[in-house]
Amino acid sequence: MSLSKEQKTEIIKKFQLNEKDTASPQVQIALLTSRLNYLNDHFKKNKKDHHSRRGLMKIVGQRRRLLDYLHNNDAPSYKKLIAELGIRK
């Protein structure tokens, strides 16, 4: 699939706010971004996979909502996160 357990743990450790944090918006956005990167590579090879494209659009919308939430509640953290992940806004 897209992420192994080790990769997911590495991403969580990089973006967590404290040692027990696994569900902050920063962690969720980072995990969704890694899934989106995987799906983008998948679509470069499989152009006619329209069923997975629907899932991609759902993930993009979910990440967008989380980014909007973070922007409204913690703007400095939002700017740091999009710079670190390379997300354009």
Q: What is the CATH number of the domain that holds 15?
A: 1.10.287.10
pLDDT of the residue at 7: 93
Tell me which residue range forms the domain holding 30.
5-85
What residue type is assigned to position 20 of the chain? K
pLDDT of the residue at 3: 84
Tell me the per-residue pLDDT of 25-76, one tens digit each, with 9 for 90 and over: 999 999 999 999 999 999 999 999 999 899 999 999 999 999 999 999 999 9
pLDDT of the residue at 62: 97
Write down the pTM of the prediction: 0.90
Q: CA 26 to CA 36: how far, in whole Å? A: 15
The total number of structural domains that make up the chain: 1
pLDDT of the residue at 88: 82
pLDDT of the residue at 1: 59
Lookup: tokens for 58: 């759902």
Lookup: tokens for 63: 């990440």
Q: CA 85 to CA 35: how far, in whole Å? A: 13
Q: CA 2 to CA 74: how far, in whole Å? A: 29
